[in-house]
Structure 1
Amino acid sequence: MKKRKIELVVLSDVHLGTYGCHAKELLQYLNSIKPKILVLNGDIIDIWQFRKSYFPKSHLKVIRKIIDFTSKGTKVYYLTGNHDEMLRKFSGTNFGNFKLDDKLVLDLDGSQAWIFHGDVFDASVQHSKWIAKLGGWGYDYLILLNRFINWCLHKLGKEPYSFSKKIKGSVKKAVKFISDFETTATELAIEKGYDYVICGHIHEPKITEIENKHGKTMYLNSGDWIENLTALEYNKKRWKLYRYADNKPEIDEELFEMENMLSQTDLTQMLFSQTRLVSRRN
């Protein structure tokens, strides 16, 4: 299968280790591309909701694929979010083509891109973490219930329905929070002179240019791999919002399985060795 060459890919809010994560679809996407730079913009592994009883092989394969990228020349930046905030004590760590940090500034054809997760703008995360964590558990089970409902709707020939999108669209506080989030991010980016500001966190994929009396910037949000299944792609000086539903990659199933055949034990050993290396350097 011919892979698409892309200069930069930004992913966020994958939430590996939760019921809502679409790891198989994400793995298909990752197997269809060959990026020069891959930015993982927070909440990739959901440490908040981590449970020993649930971490499927498909989720481990996503981690393995990311490691494969680094071994084949792709620069991978892992920027921490609130659900993987435990990794922030290792911020600044890098080995080979992999770097762990909290934020990132990239030069893209002479333009400056400011990239960070965005939970710093969320008061519930900063001041009431137990409420935010409780909400995370509730959201995960809501997504699980929603999948069952949509399976039934599919069998009946009906269109799928999103509970969380309905709630976000109907609750005024949720709508205001998203609007305030975007406004705050863009105002700061304009003030700092960045051409692009790239976030995740709110699970709302978007590319839009914002202008105020002080200047303008482009706001981008990579969305998530729970409901929207989206990513940001930068190529030939242009941004594109990739949607899995509109661009399902054609996969040779036999080749797909061969490329990803790695036992859980082998992968765990690989991750353990990488973790020990990080610990030594810190």
Structure 2
Amino acid sequence: MKPRDPFLTADFIGADIESGSGKREPVRFRTIWISDVHLGTTGCQAQRLLEFLRRTESETLYLVGDIIDGWQLKRRWYWEQSHNDVVQTVLKKAKKGTEVIFVPGNHDEAVRQFIDLDFGGIRVRDELVHTTAQGKRMLVLHGDRFDGVIACAKWLAYVGDSLYTMILKWNQWLNSWRARAGLPYWSLSQYLKLKVKNAVSYISSFEQALAEEAQRRGLDGVICGHIHKPEIRSIDGILYCNDGDWVESLSALVEEHSGELRLVSWQEIVAPSAAAKQKMEEACVSPS
């Protein structure tokens, strides 16, 4: 993953996604996983996600939970046009032939009552196994059931969510000041996660629990969201993948047509460097 520092600098805000010869070809992947978008909140980077979705194509698109934040919408209605545009873009992709699979999370848990049903070309599933082009069998789920706080004390999760929302507001004020001072974007919440010992321990326990579940089922790995920490690493021989979020990391997990799994950022896809552009041009070429 590339650092997020330049994501929201003036050079990238409103970045032109067209080349001099016209619209750039979309970057094509076999599969894309996104999660933790939190539509319906002020912290959601819906416009960045919209740019990402318009610049990419895939055979399958997984929405791995917390796409819409029902918790926040119950407290206060917030829904900008960009949030609606994201929903419409996903529906349009499904209509045009992309297989779209929605795996609900804890923030959009109301959708779980529709598990195993299909709506507008979108399949709603509790969890499932994805087989990569290399034959790796990956468990796909949001991951909240492996979060001890949500499983044992949901009220504490609501308190934590309120604190997180407050930190994001502080983060917006802080970065507004940093932008005026000519400084790059800096994530307060990510900094706290990495510095607070209990948070680091919580993340490690969460990752270990999911890897053990995939191992118990005889699978090669697991793909999840929930903790807003993009990651690809091996845990006791199990491939653990977390696609990150669209509040802080602006990241997604993708599968190349070769079957390789990797993390990509909004910056890499929408506002790439010259070197990254060449790599994307190669990715745009459909496999033979």
TM-score normalised by the chain length of structure 2: 0.81
Q: Is the CA contact 1:42–1:201 (under 8 Å) kept in the aligned structure 2? A: yes
Gap runs ≥5 in structure 2:
1-22, 273-288
Is 1:136 matched up with 2:161?
Answer: yes
Residues 168-225 of structure 1 show CA distances to partners (whole Å, capped at 9, x for unaligned) of 12221111010011111112212222112101001010111222xxxx2211000000
Is 1:14 matched up with 2:14?
Answer: no
CA RMSD of aligned residues (A): 1.5
1:186 match: 211
Which whole-Å CA distance do the structure 1 matches of 2:31 and 2:222 have between them? 14
SS of structure 2 residue aligned to 1:54: coil
Matches of residues 18-167 of structure 1 in structure 2 within 5 Å?
A: 18-50=41-73, 53-95=77-119, 97-109=121-133, 110-167=135-192
Matched AA of 1:186: A
Deviation at 1:144, TM superposition (A): 2.2
Matched AA of 2:56: I
Which whole-Å CA distance do the structure 1 matches of 2:66 and 2:262 have between them? 21
1:237 match: 259
Relative CO higher for 1 or 2, CA cutoff 8 Å, sep ≥ 6? 2
Q: Is the CA contact 1:7–1:234 (under 8 Å) kept in the aligned structure 2? A: yes
Matched AA of 1:4: V
Which whole-Å CA distance do the structure 2 matches of 1:95 and 1:247 have between them? 29
Gap runs ≥5 in structure 1:
251-282
Which whole-Å CA distance do the structure 2 matches of 1:223 and 1:193 have between them? 25
